[in-house]
């Protein structure tokens, strides 16, 4: 057989058994995937393919990849080079995500070393004339201090407002009652004739079609939480696609100070436009009652406004933040220190709270004169009377029927409508 025939025949017997190659290769794969995720996986495949192909080209042995010939090795080599392009792009994006954190450290080290305490104190007094050389040295120090001390948190910004919020542990969520503590969903608190849901839909959607002056029938929605484009249409199976999110979830508010608010203040919080935002229904479901430490919108471009709304709402209603929540809020707002705070209606909320006790005292007087008001509690018992074996397929049907939220004892209440099992469905 000729030399050329031998060269084109199957490669020679491997120097190392194939399993002997794959033990170190497997270790490399695990390390790369843990370190860089999918980008690390692509990089590991490219490296293994490149080295395996190069080995076969040089030795004409199958190697770890069991390549049958140099022609196959050449193809594998080219493929490995091509694969480095997407791998490099993914690894680069991971590095960009970490960039803001890495950028913060150098600022701190620069300000700490060139600004010894004596020099900083001499800067203002050294200006008269004593030593011209001393003046240039401290001059850069004051300009570097603001980023380190976060002096960019100017009055009126969400970052400055965050610093004023109390930081405490979370209170127990026991006893939380959505309707009992925060009122019925989507009532007309501002007296404009429209319920809160339709007010927010009119504010956040475009190209609206209305039934009368209030009810939104159709509209276009650019969801800030996910970046999705949604063509909203009111209906049994479609209304749920666009929901109204309480930016500070009501159960989270209950755990961070709302238990100490009056009923009037809590109703104001639940219907405050600053604390409400139209959102993709699935994103709202994923968030549930999470705070900033455990959930943020997937659309990073909206996170600054989202956190600013949370901070403004908590400040307006005297709520606190838990330590992990405050840290998460600060990380977001440090990327946008000029993000303004919102003027929440909570500032005026105490007024209804002061008025509310007065009506509470009035019933006490009539009770003494005529016991008739004692009959008021049984009034709700009269509502279940017209039970006609109503049933609803889902929450959209409940809302269409005007029965949301639906509670235990209401016509049509069923467990599949009450996902969190708190006795109130379709909140």
Q: How far is 274 from 325, CA to CA, in rounded Å?
A: 19
Tell me, what's the pLDDT at 161? 96
Tell me, what's the pLDDT at 56? 80
Q: What is the pTM (predicted TM-score) of this model?
A: 0.50
Tell me, what's the pLDDT at 151? 40
Tell me, what's the pLDDT at 62? 76
Tell me, what's the pLDDT at 47? 82
pLDDT digits (tens, 9 = 90+) for 76-91: 889 878 878 877 776 6
DSSP string, 331-389: HHHTT-TTPBPP--GGGGTHHHHHHTHHHHHHHHHHHHH-SGGGGTTTHHHHTTTT---
Q: How far is 312 from 331, CA to CA, in rounded Å?
A: 16
Residue whose C-alpha is closest to residue 343's, from 274, 422, 397, 290: 274
Tell me, what's the pLDDT at 380? 46
- Residues in the chain, pLDDT under 70: 1-21, 90-152, 345-389, 422
Tell me, what's the pLDDT at 413? 80
Tell me, what's the pLDDT at 17? 64
Give, for 215, the enclosing helix (H) or strand (E). strand 215-222
Q: Are 238 and 327 in contact (CB under 8 A)?
A: no
């Amino acid at each position: 057989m000729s030399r050329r025939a031998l060269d084109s025949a199957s490669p020679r017997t491997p120097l190392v058994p194939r399993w002997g190659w794959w033990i170190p290769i497997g270790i490399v794969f695990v390390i790369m995937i843990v370190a860089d995720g999918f980008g690390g996986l692509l990089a590991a495949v490219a490296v293994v393919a490149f080295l395996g192909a190069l080995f076969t080209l040089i030795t004409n042995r199958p190697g770890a990849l069991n390549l049958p010939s140099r022609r196959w090795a050449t193809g594998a080599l080219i493929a490995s080079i091509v694969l480095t392009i997407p791998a490099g792009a993914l690894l680069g994006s991971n590095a960009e995500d970490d960039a803001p954190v890495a950028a913060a450290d150098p600022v701190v080290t620069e300000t700490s070393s060139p600004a010894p305490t004596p020099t900083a104190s001499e800067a203002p007094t050294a200006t008269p004339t004593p030593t011209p050389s001393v003046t240039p040295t401290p001059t850069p120090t004051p300009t570097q201090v603001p980023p380190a001390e976060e002096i960019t948190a100017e009055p009126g910004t969400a970052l400055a407002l965050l610093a004023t919020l109390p930081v405490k542990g979370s209170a127990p969520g026991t006893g939380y009652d959505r309707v009992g503590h925060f009122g019925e969903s989507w009532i007309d608190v501002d007296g404009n004739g429209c319920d809160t849901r339709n007010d927010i839909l009119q504010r956040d959607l475009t190209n609206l079609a209305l039934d009368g002056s209030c009810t939104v029938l159709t509209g276009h929605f650019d969801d800030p939480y996910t970046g999705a484009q949604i063509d909203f249409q009111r209906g049994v199976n479609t209304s749920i696609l666009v929901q109204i999110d309480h930016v500070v979830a009501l159960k989270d508010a209950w755990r961070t100070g709302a238990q100490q608010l009056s009923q009037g203040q809590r109703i104001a919080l639940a219907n405050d436009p600053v604390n409400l935002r139209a959102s993709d229904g699935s994103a709202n479901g994923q968030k549930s009652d999470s705070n900033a430490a455990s959930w943020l919108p997937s659309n990073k471009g909206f996170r600054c406004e989202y956190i600013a709304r949370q901070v403004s709402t908590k400040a307006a209603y005297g709520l606190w933040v838990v330590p992990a929540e405050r840290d998460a809020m600060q990380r977001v707002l440090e990327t946008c220190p000029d993000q303004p705070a919102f003027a929440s209606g909570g500032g005026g909320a105490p007024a209804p709270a002061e008025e509310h006790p007065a009506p509470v005292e009035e019933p006490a007087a009539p009770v003494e004169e005529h016991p008739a008001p004692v009959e008021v509690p049984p009034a709700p018992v009269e509502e279940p009377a017209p039970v006609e074996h109503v049933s609803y397929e889902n929450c959209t049907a409940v809302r269409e029927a005007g029965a949301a939220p639906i509670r235990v004892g209401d016509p049509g209440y069923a467990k599949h409508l009450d996902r969190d099992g708190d006795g109130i469905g379709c909140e």
